[in-house]
Amino acid sequence: MVSNMKELCEYVSNKRKARNHQHRELLRINGSCSGLTDREYRYVKHSQKKSFPKQYKAAYNKIWRGNNEKYDLKTFKL
């Protein structure tokens, strides 16, 4: 455990150096990161967005309200 500010600064500095060294070792072994090729991208499964707009759907619109009434020529007043 760190008891004063000087030790804390030294601890943080050593921790950053260790992370930097670990990162460089991973890059040396695996190589740098790159994007997917076209062939790899074709095999990636991804879903569409989850919530579609409901404002244009008939179930959420006024299109079905009052649809159960029978219309006749006699009901219309001309």
**Domain tally for the chain?**
1
Q: Is residue 39 part of a domain?
A: no
Q: Is residue 55 part of a domain?
A: no
Q: How far apart are CA 61 and CA 54, in angstroms?
A: 8
Q: Is residue 4 part of a domain?
A: yes
Q: Is residue 27 part of a domain?
A: yes
Does the pLDDT at position 44 exceed 80? Answer: yes
Average pLDDT, rounded, for the chain:
81
Q: Is residue 21 part of a domain?
A: yes
Confidence of residue 75 (pLDDT cuts 50, 70, 90): low
Confidence of residue 15 (pLDDT cuts 50, 70, 90): very high
Q: Is residue 49 part of a domain?
A: no
Q: How far apart are CA 51 and CA 53, in angstroms?
A: 7
Domain residues for 14? 1-32
Q: Is residue 15 part of a domain?
A: yes
